[in-house]
Amino acid sequence: MSANPEPDAVASSAVPAEAVTPLIRGVAVLHRLTEAGGTLSLSALERATGLARSTVDRVTATLARMGYVRLDGRDVFLTPRLMELGNAYLAALRLPALLDARADALADELDESVSLAVADRDGIRFIHQATRRRAMSLSFRIGDLLPAERTAPGPLFAMEWTEPDWQAWRKRRTADPQDRSFPAVPPREEPGAAQDFERRVTAAAQDGWALDDQLIEPGLVAVSVPVRDPRAGRIVCAASVVSHTSRHTAADLRDTLLPRLRTAVRAMEDDLRAAPPRKGEASPSGLATWTGASKQELGREFVESLARGLTVLTAFGEGRSALTLTEVAQATGLARATARRALITYEHLGLVRATDRFFELTPRVLGLGFPPLSRTTLPEIAGPRMAELAARVHESTSLSVLSGTDIQYTARVATGRVMSVNLAIGTRLPAYATSMGRVLLADLPEPDRTLGPLRPLTSHTITDPAALAAVLDEVRAAGHALVDEELEEGLRSVAVPVRDRTGRAVAALNVAMHAARHSVEECVRDILPELRRTAALVEADLHVAGRFTRIPVS
């Protein structure tokens, strides 16, 4: 363990001769964007990283080509695709997949927030959050890094620290007494004695649990219990119940909620004991070929060594938690020498640890964009794709979800036409008479379809239940719905579903227009393919973002 600066902060110290400089710069850009909440201007990135503007331009152009950032004028935005790097770590770790259901069930039982965290050197990093929606609720995100001494899990992990670990912790506290290197927590107002944390660690070793009594900020309290590997006995993560002093004091957490937390942790350890063997998921393929083709197309603006270096992180995953150099090269299609230099760079940055012949990702990979992106919503994911669609077809496009017998608009991009469809986000319309509503109703089993009263809104509206049921069956088979002047005279729209990782239609995407501008045949021939293409892009982003996080659909 060493002191806790994020990867770019260590990039200037003792850089190995074989490290890949463009990769170090790319990681620095991603880290600065993460610190800023996911968005910075190119000029702000230049100032934050200390890189030349031409370097920032080339790095961001390469990241945009990879789908990790989006360039909009002079601004740079992190995109959900970047979460595949953090997903690689979480899949390799395997703990969220095995334990998150227990954490969620405990949060429901207690009606309090529950988190899972792992050790990250002398800090802790969250890998799962089951939060309660309240006016005063937990604001930490998956991937957020907190100083160990200001948390409940910290003393538990520190029980396993070596003397060099303690020395590194003391060095970091001396260099950063206000915790300014931890953006997820408020700066420390008073330094606090090192002995206080040491006493908490001693107490945690005796008690088997630890408390956070408003160490992060006034009002926030937590109790934490270690989750141990049933075979090795080491702590693999910590489970915490987090509350507010308006509901529980720290002593109250210990007396009333700690027994239930311990019961849940025992069940988690049973789950780890009974976990089936790791199943290897398909490794990425053709990445080296893709980066080479991108270099040929974009020339100097594409930094191939950066792109190839980032693909190395995606070599890891479920069933691929510890890989040899040969396995990394095979998984990515990169030359051994290229993969080796990337791994050396990542080890220097603290993103990879090497043990004997094997390499593993560290929790620090989550610092590459995961915290701000883990709180993204489906409308935020879809918005940029919808803007591109509206620009291509020159018509308005909308996203909606099913709400009872209505659809509710959650995102919308309108065109600048004199005569256009004018609807606001939040608008509700009867599902049975809209293209988006029919797409969403068609995805439901027939007994679960709630249609409400079928009123004639125009002379074209289908109001016969049997006829509507037949139409929904056709929509389900075709994968799209076209509604022609049934909601409003002169209004024609076509919609397709947006499906989550399970294949369920969680939203619908449409293009709406005046009937005079496009015939039904033109809608199917010209608009529908563009709509399907956009929905596929939104789904791809949603599937990456939703692998280990819950994405609100509205």
pLDDT at 420 (0 to 100): 52
pLDDT at 423 (0 to 100): 79
Full-model pTM:
0.92
Highest CATH level, class, for 7-78+282-373: mainly alpha
pLDDT at 294 (0 to 100): 81
Fold of 95-274: Beta-Lactamase (3.30.450)
Q: Which of 134-138, 158-162, 173-177 has the lowest mean pLDDT?
A: 134-138
Task: With a cut of 70, say whether residue 421 has pLDDT above it.
Answer: no
Burial (Cβ within 10 Å: 0-12, 13-18, ≥19) of residue 117: buried
> What percentage of the chain reaches a pLDDT higher than 90?
83
Give the pLDDT band (50/70/90) at residue 283.
low
Residues in the chain: 554
- 22: tokens are 């463009």
- 169: tokens are 């912790």
DSSP 366: G
Dihedral sign, CA of 449, 400, 67, 313? negative
CA nearest to 94, candidates 270, 313, 317, 273:
317
Sequence-distant (6+) residues with CB within 8 A of 172 are 3, 4, 122, 181
Task: With a cut of 70, say whether residue 70 has pLDDT above it.
Answer: yes
**Cα 30 from Cα 368, distance rounded (Å):** 6
Residue 513 backbone phi and psi in degrees, to 5:
-155, 165
Give the CA angle between residues 204, 209, 212 to the nearest 5°: 85
Q: Number of helices and strands (H, E) in the chain?
A: 20, 18
Task: With a cut of 70, say whether residue 174 has pLDDT above it.
Answer: yes
Task: With a cut of 60, say whether residue 524 has pLDDT above it.
Answer: yes
**Cα 406 from Cα 236, distance rounded (Å):** 46
- Could you report the per-residue pLDDT of 80-134, keeping only the tens digit for each? 999 999 999 999 999 999 999 999 999 999 999 999 999 999 999 999 999 876 5
Task: With a cut of 50, say whether residue 6 has pLDDT above it.
Answer: yes
Q: Which of 38-42, 74-78, 415-419, 499-503 has the lowest mean pLDDT?
A: 415-419
More confident residue, 12 or 311: 311
- 502: tokens are 């399970």
Give the CA angle between residues 386, 389, 392 to the nearest 5°: 155
Task: Write out the residue limits of the CATH 3.30.450.40 domain(s) in the chain.
Answer: 95-274, 378-545
Determine whether domain 378-545 maps to CATH 1.20.1600.10.
Answer: no
Give the pLDDT band (50/70/90) at residue 277.
confident
- What is residue 235's three-state secondary structure? strand
Task: With a cut of 90, say whether residue 523 has pLDDT above it.
Answer: yes
Task: With a cut of 90, say whether residue 285 has pLDDT above it.
Answer: no
- Could you report the per-residue pLDDT of 434-459, keeping only the tens digit for each? 999 999 999 999 889 989 899 999 99
DSSP 278: P
Cβ 493 vs Cβ 482: under 8 Å: yes
Cβ 172 vs Cβ 146: under 8 Å: no
pLDDT at 298 (0 to 100): 82
**Cα 113 from Cα 111, distance rounded (Å):** 7
Task: Write out the residue limits of the CATH 1.10.10.10 domain(s) in the chain.
Answer: 7-78+282-373
**Cα 313 from Cα 550, distance rounded (Å):** 23
Structural element, H or E, at residue 245: none
Q: Which amino acid is at 431?
A: A
**Cα 166 from Cα 93, distance rounded (Å):** 25
pLDDT at 14 (0 to 100): 85
N-to-C CA span, the chain: 41
Q: Which of 158-167, 346-355, 466-475, 515-524 has the lowest mean pLDDT?
A: 515-524
CB atoms within 10 A of CB 463: 14
Burial (Cβ within 10 Å: 0-12, 13-18, ≥19) of residue 374: buried
Average pLDDT over residues 53-60: 97
- What is residue 171's three-state secondary structure? helix
pLDDT at 62 (0 to 100): 96
Task: With a cut of 60, say whether residue 331 has pLDDT above it.
Answer: yes
Average pLDDT over residues 284-312: 83
Cβ 542 vs Cβ 80: under 8 Å: yes
Task: With a cut of 60, say whether residue 376 has pLDDT above it.
Answer: yes
